[in-house]
Structure 1
Amino acid sequence: MWSVDSDFKLIVGNKTFINQMSEKYGMILERGSNLLNPKYFEDDYLKFWKELYSKGLWGEPTKIEVLVPKTEQLESNLLEINLNPIYNEENIIGIACIARDITERKKAENDLLESEEKYRVLVEQASDGILIADEAGKLINVNASLSKLTHYSEKELLNMSIYDFTIPEDIEKNPFHFSDLKMGKVVITERIMKGKNGILFHVELTSKLLYDGRLLVFARDISRRKKIENKLIESEQFLKETQIIASLGTYSIDVITGKWTRSEVLDSIFGIDSNYNLNSENWMNTIVHTDWQKPMIDYLTNEIIDKKIIRQRV
């Protein structure tokens, strides 16, 4: 901190300013010292500071960031400098100057900007839809994949809330897990979402409450997977009904562990229940006729178990 009169001479300076000028430029200051002494400074330096001081002397408050070059004694640093006119009644008699080292702050700001840019690129390139909502549920940040998923434009999405995608039946079956989110848990749920023009689709949502109360949600489209699962369930149900009609039982056996599983129809045919010990010995005694037990054991041992082991080794 220092002050300068209309002739660019020092009125007063604090200890930090006096020491900095001494260490960086070898200039010993006292009241009345010329702060633009050509003995200590290059022409560019003198021109810059003369223009800066002159603005203050003309009554113009100034705030500027100045990079102070490195010297043999000190590293370079970035200063934020504020200059304000000093008045004596209506006359400007000098300038009050305050310099603050903002090197670390600027570095932190640049690091944050770089981090935010990497995050933005990552979010935009993500295949999952990503949104951030405020405490009221209003969307404040979305990526391109969410637009593609919902068929809403980014502009439309930013005028919506998380509740605009819900359908009452789904919420009734699976309410929002706000209590878990408030406890810091990551919540993963499957939901039916409503997109533009009433389009319905299945999503897997991964949600996390951020430290500032905002909600971060990753939305993955699982519509295709759900269709396959439903087809499989239908096929299994069809097979089960067909077996019941035809009185046809089925079973499978793990030749390594000796454990086997079977259909309900097979239980009915052989009169066994859920308490029946499902091992290879009982399987052989229950399913296979005594005349075929030895050939069956030989076949399983030589053709399946041994060859499976050989393939695994190869």
Structure 2
Amino acid sequence: MMKAGNYSFGKNFEIFDNLLEAISVYEPVYDNKGKIRDFIVKYVNSAEIAGSGDSYKHYVGNYISNLYGNADLELYFKIYEDIIITGKKMFKAYLPPFNRYYRISGFPIHDNLFVMLKVEITGEEKELENSNDNLEIKIAKKTAIIGEKGVNEILNENEEKFRLIFNRADDMISLNLMNEDGTPGKFIEINDTGIKRLGYSKEEFLDMTPYDIDKEYETRRALAKPAKEHHVTFETVHTTKDSQRIPVEITAHIINYNGKNVGLSISRDISERKKAEESLKESENRYRKLLENCFDAIVFHSEGKVIWANNTAMELLGVKNSEKLVNMSLIDFVHPDYREIVIERINNMIENKAVPPIEEKFLSVDGKVIDVEALAAGFTYNGKNTVQVVFRDISKRKETEKALKDFAILQAKIMRALKESDEKFRLIFNNANDMITLSEIDANGMPGKYIEINEVSVERLGYAKEELLNMSPVDIVAPDKKAEIPFNALALTNNGYSNFEIVHVTKEGRRIPVEINGHVIKYKGRKVYLTVCRDITRHKLLVNALKESEEKFREIFHNANDMITLHKMNENGMPGKFIEVNEVGCNRLGYTNEEFQNISPVDIVAPDKRVEMASHAIEIWTKGYAKFEIVHVTKDGRRIPVEINTHIFKFKGETVALGISRDITERKDAEEKLKKLLDKLSHLNEESEQFIYTTANYLQEHLEIITDITKQLKHDYEDKLDVDIENSINNIADESEHLKQMILNLLE
């Protein structure tokens, strides 16, 4: 017996290419009743098609009925029966398609295929075939001519080739006797693949039955059916000699072999396929679980019917039972206004055309209209055109958009009221102590030309109003500060408001440090920048004075109304431990100075606000200063909103930060009152006089605060203020009283 070695037979038939015999491989084709109706040619070697004038491609993949007609198809049914069913080793037949006589032998292989070998009968054998003797007599006469030894040589030659292919097959091939009761008996033949796979010797196999390697063999074979067709394919598990389990797919045939019923089985190792199937199943389960728990609704539909939907989709559409949703038409859930559009999109996806996301309306089972945003894509599933739709409920977003639209309408009404009260507005606008401007916004977000400026702007900068209206805020910024403008403009555009410091330059070149409070507002249907620019020259002088004189700094430090701190700056840019905290800070937060020196500014910030500290630290290092709002937490857990103005500088060779933290609880309360007032305005369509009256009262209230602050400053620092600062405070108080009187006059 020839050994198969490492040669892999499998589905590659190159082993037959160089044989002189005509070799062909066929696959039976079954009808819906399980009966063979035709054969497909799977392979032919060069000897098979020699002299036909046709190419290899003409045969492979074609049906016998197409190649030779239905009449000759019956002959192939007979050959299949003789090879597979009856189990003849060799026989003779005349094949009309080739107009020749052949010796024919064959055997089944994997995947229900069978191999047919043909050797043409030539010379004296043809003369015998032309006589009137029957086939057996012809064979006998031929035997007499070529002798018994010659016949045996031919049989041995074919047997050797059969053994070669038998043992080189990748699949385990076995023959076993069939008992009278139809159960499988002992093995009578096994190929090398079976011996190697299961670990038994051939002698051991010949003393075993299929039950010994598969306890459920007969049960599985019976379940597979149909036995009447003499072949069956089923899956089972073989057990090796060392008790390993190998999943296999068996194609079994009942054939007649030397007058006995014999079971021919081809067993394919499907371990890798099972692993792949299990891996695919796990992957599908993970993917399905992901889809089922996705926050977005997902639906698959094919041929107009829903085939799968996740939990979100069922909840959104109001379907409690998934079985009820499956096989329903997705179009039924689309609002009538959008059905024509959706049908067109489905057709485009079937034609492999991309479709963009769409906002549309769906209907739940109870008729509720749902605004959705949908994204869809087509693909092939089980050979059918399928569409995956991912959609989300945007009803709340639509409500928000409507609320914003309503707010914009209210804002427009207020703007109209302002326009109608332009004269009164300008009176307040031009009599403010700070520079107030309106400027355009360029496409890149940078400030454009001035639209409006108040009289303080003209007086402070020394330009005529006409000159300023041909300039932009960029033109009045000091050259060494212009690099900061894009960052300030970006913050203003993104947030809608911003507070920052910069330096203005007058017409004659004088530098004026200013604090700018900017907002993005709607003006005559377009977005503009509204800025209030406060001259902080004296504030800067005060800060410089604090830096230059530590003694004065200490005096102001501990007697200020605001919390003042000095802390280190770490190398990573974040604030380090406190160096000094004034008495206001200790009293406000409840820590002693010694306790403060063991903590940092981050430790006194409310936990929900600490994430903001990184951005503030970046701003401090970038600009050297920063102004921002945050929430402090006292030792006993009380929250205090504060406004912090901080600068970094060198102190005793180290980089430190000076922070002034103002308790803005009252201001926040005032802002809350203002917010409530604005909310009230959004629901009331008051006349312009009422708007002016509310605005005047609001200004009066804050002027009272300013008056109180100036009085408090004079009281607290009466014997510590120099003449200039005291005069400035007196001027602020006088101007506040003057503006209050003007507002009272307006209200009259």
The TM-score bracket by the shorter chain reads 0.5 to 0.7
Which of 207, 223, 239 matches 2:411? 239
Q: Confirm whether residue 104 of structure 1 aligns to residue 423 of structure 2.
A: no
Give the CA deviation at 1:18.
2.8
Classify 1:50/1:34 alpha carbon distance in 2 versus 1 (closer, same or farther; 3 Å).
farther
Task: Tell me if the contact between 1:190 and 1:203 (Cα under 8 Å) persists in the aligned partners.
Answer: yes
Q: Which residue of 2 aligns with 1:203?
A: 372
Match of residue 307, structure 1, among 610, 614, 626: 626
> Alpha carbons of 1:67 and 1:2: their partners in 2 closer, same or farther (altered >3 Å)?
closer
Matched, 1:66 2:237: yes
Alignment of 1:40-51 (within 5 A): 45=212, 48=215
Match for 2:300 among 132, 156, 161? 132
1:224 is matched with 396
- Any conservation in 1 of the 2:237–2:245 contact (CA below 8 Å)? no
- Could you tell me which residue of structure 2 aligns to residue 93 of structure 1? 261
User: Which residue of 277, 284, 289 maps to 1:121?
Assistant: 289
2:475 aligned residue:
281
Q: Across the two proteins, how many residue pairs are aligned to each other? A: 285
2:194 matched residue in structure 1:
20
> What one-letter code is carried by the residue in structure 2 that aligns with 1:215?
V
Query: Which of 139, 146, 161 in structure 1 is aligned with 2:313?
Result: 146
Q: CA, structure 1 residues 87+230, in 2 after alignment: closer, same or farther (shift >3 Å)?
A: same
Change (3 A) 1:49 1:159: closer
Letter paired with 1:208: A
Tell me the distance in 2 between the aligned counterparts of 1:36 and 1:251: 101
Amino acid at match of 1:235: F
Partners of 2:249 and 2:269 within 8 A in 1 = yes
- In 2, the alpha carbon distance for the partners of 1:49 and 1:150 equals 49
Alpha carbons 2:335, 2:369 under 8 Å: kept: no
Q: Alpha carbons of 1:149 and 1:49: their partners in 2 closer, same or farther (altered >3 Å)?
A: closer
Q: Does 1:78 align with 2:247?
A: yes
Change (3 A) 1:242 1:126: same
Distance in 2 between the 1:21 and 1:307 partners?
84
Closer, same or farther: CA 312–67 of 1 in aligned 2, 3 Å: farther
Q: C-alpha deviations, 1:132-166, integer Å up to 9, x for none?
A: 011x3311101121111111232332242221122
The alignment status of 1:167 with 2:167, answered yes or no, reads no
| 8 Å Cα contact 2:177-2:186 kept in structure 1 | yes
- Structure 2 gap ranges (5+): 1-172, 180-184, 426-436, 455-465, 478-503, 515-532, 544-618, 629-644, 649-656, 658-748
Q: Which amino acid aligns with 1:132?
A: F
- 2:376, 2:389 within 8 Å by CA — same for their partners in 1? yes
Q: Is the 8 A contact 2:214 2:237 kept in 1?
A: no
| Amino acid across the alignment from 1:129 | A
Matched residue, 1:259: 446
Q: Give the secondary structure class of the aligned counterpart of 2:626.
A: helix
Contact map agreement 2:349 2:378 (CA 8 A) in 1:
no
Q: 1:268 to 1:253 in 2, by over 3 A?
A: closer
Larger CA deviation: 107-116 vs 209-218? 209-218
TM-score (norm 1): 0.67
Contact 1:67–1:77 under 8 Å retained in 2: yes
8 Å contact kept, 1:79–1:100: yes
Which is further off, 209-218 or 106-115? 209-218
Check whether the contact 1:151–1:196 (CA below 8 A) recurs between aligned residues: yes
Pair 36,137 (structure 1): closer, same or farther in 2 beyond 3 Å? same
Q: Which has the higher contact order (CA 8 A, sep 6+)?
A: 1
Instruction: Give the Å deviation of 1:198.
Output: 1.9
How far, CA to CA, are the matches of 2:626 and 2:312 in structure 1?
48
* Structure 1 residue 232, shift from structure 2 partner: 0.4
Is the CA contact 1:132–1:217 (under 8 Å) kept in the aligned structure 2?
Answer: yes
User: In 2 relative to 1, CA 5–67 (structure 1 residues): closer, same or farther, beyond 3 Å?
Assistant: closer
Residues 174/238 of structure 1: CA separation in 2 closer, same or farther (3 Å cut): farther
- In 2, distance between residues paired with 1:121 and 1:145? 12
On the 8 A contact 1:85/1:92 being kept in 2, the answer is: no
How far, CA to CA, are the matches of 1:54 and 1:307 in structure 2?
84
Read off the aligned partner of 2:300 and give its amino acid letter: I
- What SS does the aligned partner of 1:243 have? helix
User: How many angstroms apart in 1 are the aligned matches of 2:216 and 2:323?
Assistant: 48
Question: C-alpha root-mean-square deviation of aligned residues, in Å?
Answer: 5.0
Could you report, residue by residue, the CA deviation over 1:157-188 in whole angstroms, capped at 9, with x for unpaired residues? 22422211222434578885443675464732
Task: Show structure 1 runs of 5+ residues with no match.
Answer: none
Q: Which moved more, 1:140-149 or 1:77-86?
A: 77-86
TM-score of the superposition, structure 2-length normalised?
Answer: 0.32
What does the per-residue CA deviation read over 1:236-293, in whole Å, with 9 as the maximum and x for residues that have no partner? Answer: 1221232123216995899xx993489xxx95999x9xxx87644389xxxx9x89x9
Report the Cα distance in structure 2 between the residues aligned to 1:117 and 1:22, rounded to whole angstroms. Answer: 36
Distance between the aligned counterparts of 2:328 and 2:220, measured in 1?
52
- Percent identity (aligned): 22
Query: Which residue type is aligned with residue 241 of structure 1?
Result: K
